[in-house]
């Protein structure tokens, strides 16, 4: 079960619950992927830029969970943080990122985290299925 919060215009937190299944990713965000061009992981490389912009990711694990929510599709509506056109790596184009608080529940374990959303329109060479 995935629970994420989007702040509505009234600023009252509203939670949306989505069931999903954990799926393996490419290991690029964490740097664990064998073919990853970023051995440290993209999130570790991006963390100083986000911190400078006002979001400290150091309390979180520098990786992602890929959760299949099909037939539902994910859409970021009102993220808590959006950072437009962050130039986080010299050999890449700037990207826009958004984040919103979330919680992931597996069995009796509940973990707090953030939805990490690299905007696909600023990263056209990397397709991300909206069912994840």
The pLDDT assigned to 41 comes to 92
In a domain, 47, yes or no: yes
pLDDT tens track, the chain, 132 positions: 454 444 444 444 567 788 899 998 888 889 898 888 888 999 999 999 999 999 999 999 999 999 998 998 888 888 999 999 999 999 888 999 999 999 888 888 888 999 999 998 887 666 677 888
In a domain, 117, yes or no: yes
Domain span at residue 8 reads 2-122
CA distance 94 to 127: 16
In a domain, 64, yes or no: yes
CA distance 97 to 118: 4
The pLDDT assigned to 15 comes to 74
In a domain, 63, yes or no: yes
Distance, C-alpha 62 to centroid of its chain = 10
On whether the pTM is more than 0.75, the answer is yes
Q: In degrees rounded to 5, what are phi and psi of residue 15?
A: -100, 140
In a domain, 56, yes or no: yes
Counting the structural domains of the chain, the total is 1
Q: Which residues of 51-62 are buried (b: 16+ CB within 10 A; e: fewer)?
A: eeeeeebeeeeb
The pLDDT assigned to 65 comes to 92
């Amino acid at each position: 079960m995935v629970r994420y919060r989007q702040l509505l215009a009234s600023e009252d937190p509203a939670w949306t619950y989505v069931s999903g299944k954990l799926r393996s990713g490419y290991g690029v965000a964490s740097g664990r992927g064998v073919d990853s061009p970023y051995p440290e992981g993209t999130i570790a490389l991006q963390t100083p830029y986000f911190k400078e912009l006002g979001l400290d990711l150091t309390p979180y694990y520098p990786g992602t969970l890929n959760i299949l929510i099909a037939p539902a599709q994910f859409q970021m509506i009102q993220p808590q943080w959006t950072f437009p056109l962050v130039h986080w790596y010299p050999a890449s184009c700037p990207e826009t990122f958004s984040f919103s608080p979330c919680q992931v529940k597996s069995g009796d374990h509940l973990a707090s985290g953030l939805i990490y959303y690299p905007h696909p329109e600023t990263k056209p060479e990397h397709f991300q299925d909206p069912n994840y």
